[in-house]
């Protein structure tokens, strides 16, 4: 593996640049190994360009749609002072905004001033539990070492292999790109899961994203992570939707889910049930808070995990107010996404070698634990920020003219064909037929 450094890419007190470099590096290596296994050649050297990595880790900020900047956080998403500390809210989706306000006894048209006043007199943990009970999203900002999440027991990646020696359901021949011909069923949402499946699409996979027709999605988030994919809508609560999903699974190589543990089980998507019906499938799951423990059933996003694990306190702004800070990227999301893609690619290589199927589990909290583990924070590096321009590109799509971040995955020696760009720009959510190419 070769590295090319850049200064000022992802400045933080915690080793965010190192996390980003490592996760992209392991994903690149996993792609190179799969490509070499399919071609019969040697595993090539991969290159990790820190400028490309830093740009890709904030891809949602670099996105432009006909020159328009994306909306990354809604007005009611952010840090708010509580009676005894701080809380972080997430209200980007209309239903989360409505639940947050209702849980706090506020009217549906309340704005930031009303929310700030309602929170200022309440203890942070009481806000957290009240909003959770109402189906909304708010967490108390934890001090380092005082998180309610049992970080010490969270693995970075959990994996198990099932049915070694069983025949592969569909052979993967030699191909131009490492994941060419691989069929990936994508049941994920903002941001980690879509980053993983966007990466698999870059590497040649046929990625089909499935969403509920009644569940809203941020169009800017979809535009950022929809490169290379097709997108279909299925009502899994209806018999016809379930039958269509099962037909897709019968011919899939990989199924990726990004919901709370157990949330999709009623649709037949529990990992053990999937692997029993479809031997040889690789099932990859991610969630926010880990797969056991007191917060296992809670919804979560990168910004909330940063707040609840002590990261926001470590990255606090250097002012008298003690305002919590953030990482320079939604690095838990992006890092977990590249790790998930790496795990899938390694699983595909193992399936080529020994047959069988596999099950992978990752979480944003597990990645946070890795970032925090045994590493003392350091002062932020000074100096000028890097110029991301070399790693940005433009394309024309059905959504308009898009400016976007290029992929950081690269195989410079040419012994395995590396991806240059996605085969297709993102389209509109839910407009494609639910079938494989």
Burial class (CB in 10 A: 0-12, 13-18, 19+), 302: buried
Q: How far is it, in rounded angstroms, from Cα 414 to Cα 51? A: 21
Contacts of 176 (CB under 8 A, 6+ apart): 204, 417
In sequence order, which residues have a C-beta less than 8 Å from that of residue 243 and are 6 or more positions away? none
CB 343, CB 159: distance < 8 Å? yes
Q: Are 54 and 405 in contact (CB under 8 A)?
A: no
- How distant, in Å, are the alpha carbons of 104, 300, 304, 307, 393 from that of 127? 8, 16, 14, 14, 43
Region 219-238 average pLDDT: 97
70, 100, 129, 125: CA torsion to nearest 10: 60
More confident residue, 385 or 265: 265
> Tens digit of pLDDT for each residue in 275-333?
999 999 999 999 999 999 899 989 999 999 999 999 999 999 766 678 999 999 999 99
What pLDDT does residue 318 have? Answer: 65
What percentage of the chain carries pLDDT values higher than 70?
95
Q: Which residue has the tokens 């639940």?
A: 99
Least confident of 85-99, 152-166, 242-256: 152-166
Domain 2-70+151-290+329-405 indexed as CATH 3.30.360.10: no
Start-to-end CA distance of the chain, whole Å, equals 34
Taking the model in full, what pTM does it have?
0.96
Q: Two tokens at 114?
A: 């009303």
Domain assignments of the chain as residue spans, ordered by start: 2-70+151-290+329-405
Residue 382 clears pLDDT 70, i.e. is over it: no
* Burial (CB count <10 Å: 0-12, 13-18, 19+), residue 346: buried
Average pLDDT of span 61-70 = 97
Instruction: State residue 377's pLDDT score.
Output: 79
Residues with Cβ within 8 Å of 205's Cβ and at least 6 positions away in sequence, in order, are 179, 180, 181, 182, 183, 184, 197, 254
pLDDT score of 172 = 77
Which of 204-208, 220-224, 354-358, 383-387 comes out lowest in average pLDDT? 383-387
- Checking if the pLDDT of 420 tops 90, the result is no
How far apart CA 204 and CA 424 sit, in angstroms, is 11
Question: Could you report the per-residue pLDDT of 98-118, keeping only the tens digit for each?
Answer: 999 999 999 999 999 999 999
Determine how many CB atoms are found less than 10 A away from the CB of residue 266. Answer: 10
According to the model, what pLDDT value does residue 280 have? 92
Residue 385 confidence (pLDDT) above 90: no
Angle between helices 124-133 and 94-103 (to 10 degrees): 120
Q: What is the mean pLDDT of the chain?
A: 93
Cβ neighbours for 397, distance < 8 A, ≥ 6 positions apart: 425, 426, 427
Of 76-90, 158-172, 401-415, the poorest mean pLDDT is in 158-172
């Amino acid at each position: 593996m070769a590295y090319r450094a850049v200064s000022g890419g992802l400045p933080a007190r915690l080793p965010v640049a190192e996390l980003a470099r490592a996760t992209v590096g392991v994903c690149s290596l996993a792609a190179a190994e799969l490509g070499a296994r399919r071609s019969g050649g040697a595993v090539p050297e991969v290159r990790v360009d820190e400028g490309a990595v830093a740009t890709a880790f904030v891809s949602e900020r670099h996105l432009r749609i006909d020159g328009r900047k994306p909306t990354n956080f809604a007005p009611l998403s952010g840090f708010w002072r509580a009676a005894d500390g701080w809380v972080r809210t997430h209200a980007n989706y209309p239903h989360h905004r409505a639940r947050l306000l209702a849980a706090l006894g506020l009217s549906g048209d309340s704005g930031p001033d009303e929310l700030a006043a309602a929170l200022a007199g309440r203890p942070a943990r009481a806000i957290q539990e009240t909003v959770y009970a109402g189906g909304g999203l708010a967490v108390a900002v934890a001090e380092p070492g005082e998180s309610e999440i049992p970080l010490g027991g969270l693995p970075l990646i959990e994996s198990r292999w099932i049915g070694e020696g069983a025949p592969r359901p569909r052979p993967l021949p030699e191909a131009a790109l490492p994941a060419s011909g691989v069929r990936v069923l994508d049941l994920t949402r903002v941001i980690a899961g879509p980053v993983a499946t966007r990466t698999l699409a870059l590497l040649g996979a046929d990625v089909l994203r499935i969403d509920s027709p009644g569940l809203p999605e941020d169009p800017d988030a979809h535009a950022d992570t929809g490169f290379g994919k097709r997108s279909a809508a299925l009502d899994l609560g209806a018999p016809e939707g379930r039958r269509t999903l099962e037909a897709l699974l019968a011919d899939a190589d990989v199924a990726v889910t990004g919901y709370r543990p157990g949330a999709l089980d009623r649709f037949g998507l529990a990992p053990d049930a999937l692997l029993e019906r479809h031997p040889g499938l690789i099932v990859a799951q991610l969630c926010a808070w880990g797969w056991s423990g007191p917060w296992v059933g809670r919804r979560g996003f990168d910004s909330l995990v940063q707040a609840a694990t002590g990261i926001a306190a470590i990255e606090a702004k250097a002012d008298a107010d003690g305002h919590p800070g953030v990482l320079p990227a939604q690095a838990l999301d992006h890092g977990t996404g590249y790790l998930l893609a790496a795990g899938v690619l390694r699983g595909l290589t193992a399936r080529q070698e020994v047959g069988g199927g596999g099950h992978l589990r990752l979480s944003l909290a597990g990645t946070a634990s890795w970032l925090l583990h045994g590493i003392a924070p350091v002062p932020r590096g000074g100096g000028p920020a890097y110029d991301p321009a070399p790693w940005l590109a433009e394309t024309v799509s059905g959504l308009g003219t898009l400016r976007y971040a290029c992929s950081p995955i690269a195989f410079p020696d040419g012994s395995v064909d590396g991806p240059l760009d996605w085969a297709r720009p993102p389209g509109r959510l839910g407009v494609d037929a639910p079938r494989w190419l």
